[in-house]
Every structure is written in structure tokens, then in C-alpha cells.
Structure 1
Amino acid sequence: MSKIHGFLSLLVILFLGCTQKESTAQNKDTNLTLWYESPAVKWVDAFPMGNGRLAAMNFGGTDVERFQLNEESLWAGVPSNPYADDYLSKFKKVQALLIAGKNIEANKYGLENMVAGPASFRSYEPLADLLIKFNASDSVSNYKRTLDLATGISKITYRIGDSEIVRESFISAVDDVICIKLTSKGENKISCNISLDRKKDVKITASPEGKLYLDGQIVDVEAPEAYDDNAGGSGKGGKHMSFAGELQTEISGGNMTASENDLVIENAEEIVILFTAATDYNLSKLNFDTSINPKATVTDILNKVQEKSWQELKDVHVKEHTAMFNRVSLDLGKSINDSLPTDKRLLAYKNGAKDPGLEAQLFQFGRYLLIGSSRSPGILPANLQGKWSERMWAPWEADYHLNVNLQMNYWPADVTNISETTNALINWFELITEIGKPLAKEMYGANGWFSHHASNPFGRVTPSASTFPSQFNNGVLDALPGAWMVMNLWDHYEYTQDKVFLQERLYPMLSGASEFILDVLVSDAQGTWHFAPSASPENMYMDVASGEMLRITASSTYHVSIINAVFKATQEAASILNIQDDVTKRIEIAKTKLPHILIDDNGRIMEWRNDVEEKEAGHRHLSHLLGVHPFSLITPETPELFEAAKKTLAWREANGHGGMGWAHAHALLMHARMLESKKAYQSLNTLLSKGRKSSLMNTIGPFQIDGNLGATAGIAEMLIQSHLKNENGDFIIHLLPAIPTEWSNGKVTGLRARGGFEFDMEWDKEVLKVHVISKKGGACIVQAKGKKEEVLLKAGEKRALIF
């Protein structure tokens, strides 16, 4: 070996050693570990684990250990896209009434004629509970349960007598199995019963080889014979989706026998449990598929891991998980509470303790949840509860809500460097747009595609809600949630600069959304083009003449904002791809005909076209402020609207805005965009302290993952913003744009910006040190501390900056 070659080899070894030490050090960071001194009692206090397809909530019990299990595609119901007979003519009549100013008449006619059953659809369902019942008589001491976000490993340790009991569990994305290991170190061995449990539609059997089999088929029963959460109905009954699961067990020491439906283990030193599950869902069909045998799928998965040791399973899982998770690190400073158990830490924070580490932990917890609920081997996007749900009928069916919630789920994906989590969303949503094309013709006489606000894995795009009045108000009056949703995909392009994706997949969706809007727009007598019928999600206004509370209108600010954003993105995409077509020409004309966003006499953005009294001044939705976030239509470059937007959000919050975690998360994002660092921090404080919190799960309202993911996006928005461009079309990347005084010192690595750039930052009160790398090559403007730097980089090139 030459001296040079030997020296280089030594450098490589030293580098790898340092890298490994850094990774290990990060994994030991107290702000990447959730921990408790007792088992979880409430579902929301258990530890979530997931690999995108399988999910589990681990309770950590010492008498009974519970893993509440989910499989992403296990949904009740069947495909259904109902709509009223002769919908198009009825739609045209309502349009005409609204353009004539006859809102009361239009509302009455629509309620009576434009709804159809079933009003909604059935729910996402839990798979089963995996239960381990222990037969130990001695008392437990030194209990601790931890969840390491960086490795995705849940660990429970405690002592029984002189024996240490250790349980580790994780869900491997590589091997697609839930892995659990129980170990006793000492004289007290492990005696337990292992079982699977599900309330209905299942048969569970045990085999002497240490296996449990779960075979099921959802049998839907219509009301009144069975419960239906939707008064307007949820679809026909019958034998529907099939599913299967298999658990296999291996023990060291002791013995194992099988009873009818559980495994009995006595005096084992070690127990390894592997479990996986599957359904007969077929994404390409947006339906279950009887040609798929879920039992065979399960067996095939487990056969592939038969020869792997526990350590091999664990090592490959940790390597793969940390490769994603460790792309971004965040240090906002130390706290005396860093070493507290999570529940006590949250209580201290609620009582006013400063804890920047907890705020950084919330940020990373959101990334962990998105990784666990939207990635390969999963094929479906994260729903209202991610993939974690314990109720047979989940709140709002745990559906895909497209009037803010699903969008919010994916706002942190690109900026926090886990762009691949959007793949499941893109693949599913592309199929949704295809479902919408023929229905656009039939229902609206329009080309392009649409989707209303509530969807599911079966491709519901027509109006949906729990009752028929709600179906009209929330569904019929809002045909543009799909158009809003496609803007998430436009954001994804701006971050990745993937022109193949833009040309082959995104542009057809953008163009189709624009074409639908163009075909639906209708002119009033003054020549203004309106989108009608219209509404502003879930809020109401009072009709002055009658005193009646209504939602129906023409051209709500919400819809005008969506239309302007989609038109702008479509034109930009066409320009990048050198496309000149009929749609882009029509957009250019339509832009001059659309209503403007209006400001009322109080200096606030108007939610509707007329200055009316709103039912809820503190309503949770911020639909009329979408121009601020996520659409970047209202910015400091539009100062009158920008100031009006600030007053509007202040008005909402002064009147009690909230009730749901996602609402506070959206306010956080809005304040960050408005460069209001103090108010953004207050919204973050609310998310961490409101309610009886003992875990980081968003429980302001029933658990919904959007509050967690929106919080992560909001913190990122406080640290980096890249939604503006200069006159040359280069992105302006604003660093620490809404940094609160509480974060006067900090460090972040791996955040991404639009244009394909990635940033590392370290700052104190005086200096901001920056490293920027370009993934694709290109120019940008980096702005911080009132200064600007022009940056031009080749692909892979890195540059250091100081502000």
C-alpha cells in the first residue's frame, strides 16, 4: 500500500468514525427522545410507530402490554360517487339565482334538489390489538418507557425482583413487519399469554408452531340495523374488504403451547414476535380486489424474514429510518427541563416554563409522524389521523379532508427534507383527478377535473358530509378543494425542480384544474366572472334582508384565492415547459375578469363579496387568508392587502379563533408569513400548552395529525421562507424571517428551500453563519438580518455566507 493511499484510507476511517459518533450523539439527544415513568393509560399517550403501511400505538403496560394496530388500507364501505339527478341543470339554475342576487332562493332550491344519498361514506377501521398478558406476581420498579424519534424504536424497561425486563419494538419499512423483543435478565423469566383481538368481522386462530392467524372480512350493515355515524347514510351493506394478519413467535428457554386463539409461554428468557398484515385493496382500482389474497401477501412478507436474526432486523431498520430522519437537526437551546419525563415537561411548559428543547422536539415529532404515516411501503397518503386510529368509526371517518387538513399534512414534507413522503399523496391524487374528469362533464358541463372536500381510498369526489344539509353546505357549495390540493404538488415541484414530474404528471393536473374553473365561471351584468355557487368553509354570514344565516354566495374570497393561485401556477408551469395552449390563453383573459380581494371599512379582508355580519368572528378556518399562506398572493409587496390580512387574523384571534389544533397551526404559519415572530411564537405556545396534554399528539379537539404536521411546517416557516421571487424569477430565500427572541441562539441543518437549495444555519444574537448547497444548480437571493446576497451555484456546489 502506498503512503498516500494509506493516508487517504486513514482519513476515510476517521471521517466515518466521526460521522458515526455524531449520529450516535444525535440519537442520545434528550430532545429526540420521548419518555415516561409509567405505562400509557390513554390512547394518545401511547407511542406511535409506523412504516407508512403498518401502524401501532405501544402502551408499555406491565400487566398487559397493548399494541393497537392499523393497516393503512383497511376501510369499511365501497366506492360511491352519488350526485343528484339532472345535476347540471340544477347547478345552472342555482348559478343564475346567485348572479341575480337571489341568495335565499338559491339556497332553498339547492338544499331541496342538489343532494343525493348516501350523504357520506364509511370509516377507516383499526386492524386489531396485539395483547401480551403477563403472569408475574412480584411488584414492578424502575419503570421507564422511551421512544427514540431518530431510530423509531420504542423501549420499555423495568425490574421485577432482581430481574431486568426489557421490551423493544419497531416497525420496519425495509422488511414490512412489526418487530417486538422481550428479554428477561435475571432469575424471573417471562410467562405470558399472547393474543390478537378485534371487535368484529374476524376469526383468530393459534397454531402449535407459535403462530397466530387473523382472517377477516368487513361486513357492513346499514342503519337502522347497525350504527351509522352519518345521518344521511354511508353506503350499502354487504361483505366488503378482506384482510389478514399473521404473528409468529420464537422463544429462547421455557416452553410455548397454543390454546384455541392465543399462545401460552412459560419461563422464557427471550421472546421475539414478528407481525404483519394486509388487505385486498388495489390502489390502481381505488377499490378492494377479490383477485388479491391478503393471506398470501402476509405469508410472503414473513417468509422473506425467516432467516434474519433480531439484530439484522433492527440494524437494517435503524439504518434506513435514521437515513431519512437525520437529514434535519434542530437545536434551539438547552433548558433545565430537558431531562424531565415528557408528561412533566409538558406540564411545566403549560405553567410557563421556557423550554426551547421541547419546541424543537415538537418539530421533530411532526417529521417522525409524517415519515411513519406516508412513505414506502405505504401507498396511501396520511389521513386525518395519519395511520393511527383506534375507533371502529373514527371522527370524520379519518378521511382525506381537502379544505385545509390534507394540505396541512404535507406542508412540512419538502421544507423538512422528507420529500419522498409526498409520493403516496401524488399517486393517490392523480387517480382522484381521473375519477373527476367524466363527472366534471356530467355534473358541471366542464372539461378538466374536480374534487369536493371529503375523499377516501375509494375515490369519492362528489359532495359528501354527514347529513344532507351539510352535504349541500360543505360539499355542493365547494367544488374547488381538489384545485387547492394540486397546489401542494406545485410546491413540491418548486422545491425539487423535477421537470420530468412537472411535464408528465403535474402540468396535466394543473391544466385540468384550470380548465374546470374556466368552464364553470359565469359573468354578471357588469362583466365580472364569478365562481358560483361558492362558500367559505364552515363559516356563515347573515343575510341582511331576512336575518337568515347562509353559506351560499358567489365568488367567496376563498374561491377567488384558489382560482388566482391555480391560474398563476398553471401559467408558470406552461412557461417553464414552453407550452402555449388554449387553457393558458383563456387564463390570461379570465385574470382580468375575476373579482378582486376586497377590504372592508374596518380594514380587514372580506370573506364574502358583500360586507356582511359573520356568524363566528373567531371561526377556526382562515379560508379568506389563503392569499397569505399557502398561496403567496398577499405579501409585503402588496402592502395594503398585507396589512389588512394582519388585522383580519388579529380579529379572528381576539374573538377566540381555534377549537382545533390545526387552526392554531395555520395561524402559526400565517403569522410567520406576516413576519410576526412574537405572535407566531404565541401560536406555537398554544399548540404545546392548550388542553390537558401529557403527550405531543395533537389533542386540541379529537386527535388529528394535521395539528402536529402544521406545527412542524410552522416552525420551519419561522426559520426559512422561500415563496417570493425577484424580477428575474430567482427565489428569494429569507433566513430566520420570524425568529422569536426566545430562539436567540440556535442551529439547524438540512432545511430545504424552493429552487432546489438546502441550508445549514447557526446563529446567535450577533451573527448568522450559513452554508447553502444547490441540488440542481441555479441562482437565488439569500436574505437575512436586512442584508441580501446573490448566490449562483452549480449542481452539488456549496457556499458559506455570514450575516
Structure 2
Amino acid sequence: MRLHWPAAAGEWTEALPVGNGRLGAMVFGGAGRSRVQVNDATAWSGTADGPARALADVLAAGAGPERLAQVREAIFGGDLERATSLLMSFEGPYSQTFLPYVDLWITLPEGESHGRTLDLATGVVTERLTIDGAEVTRRVWASETSLCVEITGAVPSEVDVTTPLREIGRDGLNLVVEIPVDSAPRHEPQVDAPVYSDGERGTISVKITEGERWLLTLTSSTTAETWQGQRHGNHMTLMDACEVRFGDVPEVVDVPELLSGKDEQLIASVLFEYGRYLLVSSSRPGAPPANLQGLWNADLRPAWSSNYTININTQMNYWAAEVTGLAECHDPLLELLEKLAVTGADVARELYGARGWVAHHNTDAWGWALPVGMGHGAPSWAIWQMGGAWLVQHAWDHHDFARTWSTLERAWPLLRGCAEFCLDWLVEGPDGYLDTCPSTSPENWFLDADGKPQALTWSVTMDVVLIRAVFERTLALALASGRADPVLAEISAALPRLRPVPVFDGRLGEWASDHVEEDSTHRHMSHMVSVYPLGQIVAGTPLGDAAFEVLERRGNGAMGWSWAWKMALRARLGDGDTVRSLLLEASQPFTGDRHRDAPVDGSEWGGLLPNLFSTHPPFQIDGNYGFTAALAEVVVQSHTGVIDVLPALPSGWASGSARGLRCRGGLAIDVTWDDGDVTVRLRRISGDAAAFVPVSIGGEITEVVVSDVVEVRGRIPC
């Protein structure tokens, strides 16, 4: 699939992304002077010892197990004001910031651009220009080691490399810069901005006066290179592992025409493939995982530090990794988890007197595990101890799709350590259940008896279902590996004492008590994590019906990531037509001010930027990744142990195909459908070749043994 834009970019939101996981660039194009804005995935503010120093400061300010006991006493006693005041001392500074790196400025003679084409299969942006009557071609891509710019055509050229960072040295074509040691998000204006270069920026210039073709390669290294994964894997191989096509898809898609919204199946096909492209480009072994903006950031002080927000956004970045054949792209997130298991163990022990490891609302490339907020962050988002319990589910998913010994061995210590923290975090509540306290439902509020918004309580639904998943999956890993571990008996004793998922007025409850929501259409769907991605609640059950009622009440529109989550939830509940309506909302061109941060409450809907990035605004890439994951759920689901084919296909999407989607248990699946006739081909990738695999097509289940390739046919309602 190739995507075409008929003109050069006038600004960053029109530029096109390329990347190899480590180096990323936004390609503007155009004759005359044009920009290629470059990022390095390891260019973060901060230092490796930053989390430890921040923990020491928080402890010195009085936070710790003794104060935690006072917080719990205040919450169970109904004194939420005192609990909030005490909890402020648990907040450290903010996690660090992903920074811009350098700009390439390429100067050619003035001429005419005939547009830019992004080839998703190769990761190459090609632009054809006419300069002085001659044809000139410029191509930009990221190889395994370098950012590459190639110009073919006999034109004089000049290349300038500039940086917004402080230059501290140079040697020929090598430029050395200094990255700030501290930063904070721009929603904290009282915090001094970090020191960057002032006056003349560091610059390297190269002039090319002769030749039919020249190739520039830019490489980078930083002292933050602590990522251990071996860099490997070709972009084309990863992209070729899977594809999904709804209806007919041309070889070249005109993007402005696409955004006119005339062909909804083409929009779905493009967004599915584009999300995979962005993950392949921004998350590869040997570099940090994709952040709030993937790998592409031009702001010295970006929104929310362009970091890892782990109450939904980072998780959504990786929902599509396993199911769309990009397990290798999952590796950077697993490595971040392994960092958090170290830094988070210190926080669990010193701050809470607990075993295992913990993470909260945010983290960064250094493995930040403390609460953030600088002592004034609202508890609705800053005080949440379940960030690690959600993030660690990705270690389980990585194993569940592959079912190999190596994936099991990697997941086991991460889940076991998280389970230990959860065991120690639970306390006996007033009615005998084991409760989490303090507890918040991320970013949401309820009204107390006086009508005042509150966030603190005990055992919100999200806490309970995450802990249940951690416990059950830790037990499953132990069973699969034949392990005997003392923690298993503790888990088995605690599991039946967790609170059941509540239902109030026919709807899944967000809190343990029947509180009134401050905002009945809130963008976060935190208690629905039990439906997607955890798969604890399924369609056709009383709890599934209660989950459906939540979605009906919450309504549709919000911003990119919220749309994507609602799409995935609707797909899990078999509601394909609402998946389609949500997709059409989410893919509308954004017509507001791209340079203004909209309110976080979702009161101003987002949409797609000209380069197909999902925006709130500001731009957040999680929506793009989430669209891919949700559309995969339309085609195949395997979370119940049954491979359910086309469980949420929108009406009118009468034909299509999928190749290389993955199912849990080590299987790959190809699907074709046309006017109700469905053909499925399953093939074994890994796992147990002797296992029976139930396949459901239109509700009819066929059991097969997949040792090599098996074909199954059936029909779905037209």
C-alpha cells in the first residue's frame, strides 16, 4: 500500500513519518529549502539515577508505610480531605521528557513538487520534483542503522544539520550536544524550562555541486544507550507478516480524497495498515518503546512530556503488536517492564513496605516508578498504584500468543513480582473482602453525599480486575512450567476474597459502591478493561450485557484513543455497526487549531491530521495504534479459547481478506469472505501442535488439530 499526498508539507502535522525504532524523521518535502526533522529514541532528559534520587526526596518528606496507614484509616473513615492531603507527600516530580534532536535542512533550487508518496511496505518517502526543466527524485528512509536521504538528478544542493540542544563539541562532520538533565511537561508553567542552547545553534553544513546522485546518511549515539535488545529485523519483513483488506484497495491511495470520507472500507484498510507501519517504525529491539508520540516529536517541551502514560496510552500502543504479527516490536515494552521491575521494587519496598514491584501513572526511558505531580497533582490521576499491574499484562500476552518456553520464562518473573506487590497492597476491608486502598478509577471522579467531586475510595473495579488477571495469569504460568513457589499458595488464598465485579442499575459499576459519576460520558473506560483487553467479561453473558449498557451511556465521540478503545470494546461485544460509526467519527479530518492543546475532558472532539496522525489535539499516536488493534478484533478474536472469525463485521462490508493475523496458542490465520462465504486457513507458528482448536464461523464451531495448515469453510449472515 502506498499513500500519496499531492503537495509538500507546510507544517509538521503534514509531514510524513519514517523510522527504524531508534531514529525517526518527519519529511516535509518541497523544492527550495525543505526540512527533515529528526528524533533519536534515546534522547530523553534526565539521568539513570534520577528515579532513585527522587525516591529519596519523597521519603525524606515524610512519605512511607506509616503515612500510608494513616491514609487508609482516613479513607475507610470517610475523611477524604485528610487522605488527599496526606497523599500529596507521596508525589515526586514528573517523569522525564522525550526531546527533539536535530533538523536536516536540504536546499535545492526553486522548482515544482509533484507530491510525496509513502510506501508502507518499504518505509520510503519518495518525492518527484521538476527543477529547471529537469526531473529530480528525492527519497528519504530509515535503514537499520541510519537515516538516509537520496537525491537523483543533477542539481546543486546544500545540507545543513541544526540542533535545538546545546552544542558542546564538534569534529568534522560529528556534532556533540548536551541533553538537559531535568524537564517537566508544559502544563506545569511554574517550573523553569530546562536549559537549551541560546543564540547560535550548533550547525554542520555540506555543499554538493556536482554529480547525478548523492546519498546522505545520518547516524546517532547517546550515553543513554542502556537498551539491551539486539537490533535486527527488516522493515519489509515485518510489514509483510500481516495485512487486512476491507473491500477493494488500490495500490496507491490519494490521502486528501481518502479523508473526504467517501469509502469507509478503504479508510478502515488504510488505518489498519498505517497503525502497523507506525509501530514497525517506532518500536524495534535495541531502543525504547513507542511513547505518546511514537518516535516523532519536534517540541522542546511537548504535551505530557511525550512520555509513557500507563493508565491507558502506552498499553494501547501495543494492543496490536501480537495479533498483527509484530511480536518483535513488543520487545522494547517488555524491556521497559524489566527496568520497572528493578526501579519499581525500590518504590514498593520503601514507599509502601511491600514486596514485588510497582508503577503508577507515568514512566519514562529511565524506568520511573514513583507517583508524579510535585505535591499538587490531583489524586484522580497521580495516585494510582496499578500502572504496573496493567502494563505487565503485555508480558502475558507475548507468551499467550506464542506459547513457547522462552516467552514463559520472560513473563514469569515480571508477573510473579507484580503479584507479590498486589498481595501486599491488599488489605482486609470492613466487610471481609480484600481491598485496594487508596484506590482511584483513572482520571474519573464521583460525587460524594454533598455533591462534591471525589476520586479516592477503595477497590475500584479496575483495580480488582487487574489484580485478578495478575493472579490468574501468574498461576497459569506456574502450572505451564511445573513451578512450585510459596507465592502460589498466597495467590490461591487471596483470589476468592477479591470483590466481584459490581453491577448497578443494569450497568457495570466503576466503583465498589454505587456512586454518581461526575461526568456520565467520561472519556476513560477504566472498568471496561475487564472486557478489552483482559477478556474476563464476554458477550452473551449478564456481565457482558452490563458492559454493553456502560457503552450505551458513555456515548461515542471523544478523542482518538478513546474512540479506539470504544471500537475495540464494541468489537468484543459483537457490535460491528457501532465499530463502523465510531471509525467514521474518529477518521474525520480535524478542522480546529492544530497548535492548541484542547481540554483533556474530551469536550472538543479530535480527528485525523493531514498526515493521518490521530489528534486530540495535541497529537497522540495511541489512537493510530488503537485503530489497528480494534479492526483486528473485527476480523478475528481468540481470547475465549475459541477462534471466532468475523465476530463483529459491520453490515455492508461484504468482502475482504486478512493474511497473517495471529491467534493465541501459536497460530496464524488467513481469512477471506465474500457475500457470506468464509474461508479460513490456520497454520501453526509455535505452541502445541497436538492441541484441538475450536473455530467459530457464524456461530458454528468446528474443532481441528493444527499441525501444519488446516482449511475451514463456513458462512456468516450477509
In the alignment, the residues of structure 1 paired with residue 146 and residue 326 of structure 2 have an alpha-carbon distance, to the nearest angstrom, of: 22
Q: Cα deviation per residue 1:138-179 (whole Å; 9 max; x = unaligned)?
A: x426x1210000111110002234310101121111xx0111
CA separation in 1, counterparts of 2:180 and 2:681? 57
Do the aligned residues in 2 keep the contact of 1:151 with 1:321 (CA within 8 Å)?
A: yes
Measured after TM superposition, the shift of residue 46 of structure 1 is 1.0
Q: Does residue 1:469 correspond to 2:393, yes or no?
A: no
Residues 252-307 of structure 1: CA deviation (Å, up to 9, x unaligned)? xxxxxxxx841233354322111111111142699xxxxxxxxxxxxxx9xxxxxx
Residues 1:122 and 2:104 aligned together = no
Q: Which amino acid aligns with 2:161?
A: L
Secondary structure, aligned partner of 2:705: strand
Inter-partner Cα distance in structure 2 for 1:672 and 1:441: 40
1:121 offset after TM fit, Å? 3.2
Partners in 2 of 1:529 and 1:789 — Cα distance?
A: 41
Pairing 1:246-285 to 2, within 5 Å after superposition:
261-283=204-226
Q: CA deviation at 1:565?
A: 1.2
Aligned partner of 2:4 among 35, 48, 56? 35
Which deviations, in whole Å up to 9, do the C-alpha atoms of 1:515-567 show, x marking residues without a partner?
111111111232111100000111111111x3321111101111111111111
Q: How does 1:518-667 map to 2 (within 5 A)?
A: 518-544=423-449, 546-601=450-505, 603-636=506-539, 639-653=541-555, 657-658=557-558, 660-667=559-566
Distance 2:455 2:147 in 1: 47
The match for 1:489 is: 395
More divergent stretch after superposition (213-222 vs 405-414) = 213-222
- Which residue, 322, 332, 337 being the options, matches 1:414? 322
Structure 2: runs of 5 or more not aligned: 592-608
- Match of 1:277, SS state, is coil
1:147 corresponds to: 118
Higher Cα Rg, which structure? 1
Q: Report the Cα distance in structure 2 between the residues aligned to 1:344 and 1:452, rounded to whole angstroms.
A: 42
Q: Secondary structure at the match of 1:426?
A: helix
Matched-pair contact (CA < 8 Å) for 1:232–1:468: no
Give runs of aligned pairs for residues 88-487 of structure 1, distance below 5 A: 88-111=65-88, 113-116=89-92, 119-136=93-110, 139-140=111-112, 143-173=114-144, 176-184=145-153, 189-202=154-167, 207=172, 212-220=173-181, 230=188, 233=191, 261-283=204-226, 320-334=234-248, 341-346=254-259, 348-349=260-261, 353-376=262-285, 378-465=286-373, 467-470=374-377, 472-475=379-382, 477-487=383-393
Partner of 1:14: none
Q: Distance in 2 between matches of 1:104 and 1:587?
A: 33
CA shift at 1:97, angstroms? 2.0
State the shift of 1:96 in Å.
1.9
SS of structure 2 residue aligned to 1:90: helix
1:736 aligns with 2:679: no
**Equivalent-residue separation in structure 1 for 2:660 and 2:271 (angstroms):** 17
Question: What is the total number of aligned residue pairs between the two structures?
Answer: 682
The one-letter code of the counterpart of 1:178 is: L
| Residue in 2 that maps onto 1:25 | none
- Contact between 1:115 and 1:471, CA under 8 Å: does it hold in 2? no
> How far apart, CA to CA, are the structure 1 residues paired with 2:316 and 2:425?
27
The separation in 2 between residues aligned to 1:421 and 1:512, in whole angstroms, is: 24
Go from structure 1 to structure 2 and tell me whether the alpha carbon gap of 1:115 and 1:771 turns closer, same or farther (over 3 Å shift): closer
**Shift in alpha-carbon separation, 1:61–1:152, aligned structure 2, 3 A:** same
Aligned to 2:671: 761
**Does the 8 Å contact 1:140/1:159 carry over to 2?**
yes
Instruction: Map 1:11-50; keep pairs closer than 5 Å.
Output: 32-50=1-19
Q: What residue identity is the alignment partner of 1:411?
A: W
TM-score (norm 1): 0.81
1:267 & 1:421 partners in 2: Cα distance? 41
2:702 is the alignment partner of 1:789 = yes
SS at match of 2:94: coil
Shift of 1:580: 3.5
Per-residue deviation at 1:587? 1.8
Deviation at 1:238, TM superposition (A): 8.4
Change (3 A) 1:802 1:222: closer
Q: What percentage of residue pairs aligned between the two structures are identical?
A: 30
2:444 is paired with a residue whose SS is coil
1:400 CA drift (Å): 1.1
Distance 2:242 2:228 in 1: 36
Q: Is the 8 A contact 1:229 1:393 kept in 2?
A: no
- What is the correspondence of 1:764-775 to structure 2 with a 5 Å cutoff? 764-775=674-685
Of residues 576-585 and 405-414 in structure 1, the stretch that sits farther from structure 2 once superposed is 576-585
The offset of 1:199, in angstroms, is 2.4
- The answer to whether the 8 Å contact 1:125/1:390 transfers is yes
Q: Distance in 2 between matches of 1:108 and 1:92?
A: 14
Letter in 1 for 2:178: Q
How much has 1:496 moved relative to structure 2? Answer: 0.7
Matching residue within 84, 87, 107 for 2:64 = 87
Kept in 2: contact 1:220–1:239 (CA 8 A) = no
Q: How far did 1:483 drift?
A: 1.0
Amino acid at match of 1:217: E
Give the direction of change, closer, same or farther, for the CA distance of 1:791–1:343 in structure 2 (3 Å limit): same
- The amino acid that maps onto 2:390 is W
Shift of 1:232: 7.4
Alpha-carbon distance in 2 for matches of 1:781, 1:232: 58
In the alignment, is the contact (CA less than 8 A) between 1:486 and 1:510 conserved in 2? Answer: yes
Give the distance between the partners of 2:618 and 2:365, measured in 1 at CA: 22
Q: 1:679 aligns with which of 578, 586, 608?
A: 578
TM-score by length of 2: 0.90
The CA deviation string for residues 675-720 of structure 1, in whole angstroms up to 9 with x for no partner, is 1010111122222115234221112321111111110000001000
Partner of 1:728: none
User: Residue 122 of structure 1 contacts residue 234 of structure 1 at CA under 8 Å; is this kept in 2?
Assistant: no
Residue 194 of structure 1 and its aligned partner are, at CA, apart by 0.9
* Structure 2 counterpart of 1:441, one-letter code: R
* C-alpha contact (below 8 Å) 2:360/2:370 kept by paired residues: yes
Q: CA RMSD in A?
A: 2.6
CA deviation after TM superposition for structure 1 residue 204, in Å: 7.8
Q: 1:788, 1:748 → 2: CA distance?
A: 20
How far apart in 2 are the matches of 1:562 and 1:781? 27
In 1, distance between residues paired with 2:482 and 2:375?
45
Find the aligned partners of 2:667 and 2:186 in 1 and give their Cα distance. Answer: 49
TM-superposed CA distance for 1:423, in Å, is 1.2
